[in-house]
Amino acid sequence: MTQTPLRICLIMHSTRSDNLGVGALTVSEIEILRDIARDIGRGIAITVLDWKDARAPYVGGPDVTVIDMDGRMMRSPSGFLAIARRSDLVIDIGAGDSFADIYGGGRLKRMFVLKYLTHLARTPLVMAPQTVGPFTKGWSKTLARLSMRLCAVVASRDRLSTEAARALGCGGVIEASDVALRLPYDAPAPRVPGGPVKVGINVSGLLMGGGYTGRNEFGLTMDYPGLIRDLIRHFQNHPAGCEVHLVPHVIVRSGPMVGEDDYRASEALAAEFPGSVLAPAFDSPSEAKSYIAGLDFFMGARMHACIAAFSSGVPVVPMAYSRKFEGLFGTIGYARTVDCTTQSADTIRDAIVQGFEDRAELQAEAAAALARGREKLAVYEDALRALLARAA
């Protein structure tokens, strides 16, 4: 007799986000679920509820169905609530760092609607590893506390998030790590001896433009565009014979968010600095990671671009503009992050320059930290495996 596949619904994941970091979470989550399904000998049917977008999904397979979601679908009894009731499990990854009220109330309220409809459906809800908080308002703290207490699993991806969840009264938190450590990629071809030293710079279009509003709402204490230009000059003139690669990781082809586009920012810099290499406008997170894996050194202000380097063995200096960088990398013992909100451009430049000279040491430190990250992530995977085994 053929067994019915386990039905898993993914919310606050994306199959086509312009931000390849958000997409990396979805691709990695699906890889984890497929591994678990093989372990327990059951088929799976994954439904991803994704906000409508013109971009084609970069996640697929016979076990994956992508359903467009909007406000009407969220509110309709035959929409999300019905899907949640038919599911054996609902997994919410909060788009990585959206389970907080610092991004405005609209996004968080939509998240709470999905969470509480899942609770109403009496389907186990899993909070996959993500940033928790900060919550600064009474109503958001109350709803976050109640929802986490009703979840079957609550997983954070760093120590700061674990502390934030416990401060809200959620004691049973699994401290894992970012699921994108599991993002699949193609290993680079063996290097040709005597070739250039490939230095990758992920240029954030968001920070080049001064943030969402142009008014420096991230509170940078330095001139980010000036620092990026200084770093390009330094590595282009380095006696080691460096080849500078400008690597976008948020690629906005059209629409109101084009000001956040890394590709346009990188393209302008490539024209300004002849000899630099403009990386492609990648079609998927794994394609971006496969490119980054072929570099010799990397730096960037998009956290998941740095995770792609870190988890593929490329020495990296993350350039933080929020607590999530130090939360993630610091929790697993990788102490090479620089902070654009507290440090001067000279201090950051010196740390990156020194990191390049010490890149063999960085590579060894990253390998040890990656092993710790995978151990922590395995705790989440074990909890998910136990839930799915019970459902089976």
- pLDDT tens, residue by residue, 74-117: 888 899 999 999 999 999 999 998 999 877 778 899 999 999 99
Question: Which whole-number Å values give the CA distances from 326 to 4, 25, 131, 157, 329, in the listed order?
Answer: 43, 18, 12, 11, 5
Q: What is the pLDDT of residues 347-378, one digit of tens each?
A: 999 999 999 999 999 999 999 999 999 999 99
State residue 256's pLDDT score: 67
Report the C-alpha gap between 59 and 64 in whole angstroms: 8
Which residues, 6 or more positions from 235, have their beta carbon under 8 angstroms from its beta carbon?
A: 199, 201, 242, 244, 356
Burial (CB count <10 Å: 0-12, 13-18, 19+), residue 236: middle
State residue 1's pLDDT score: 44
**Which residue ranges form the domains of the chain, and what is each CATH number?**
6-175 (3.40.50.11930), 197-371 (3.40.50.2000)
Average the pLDDT over 365-392 and give the result: 95
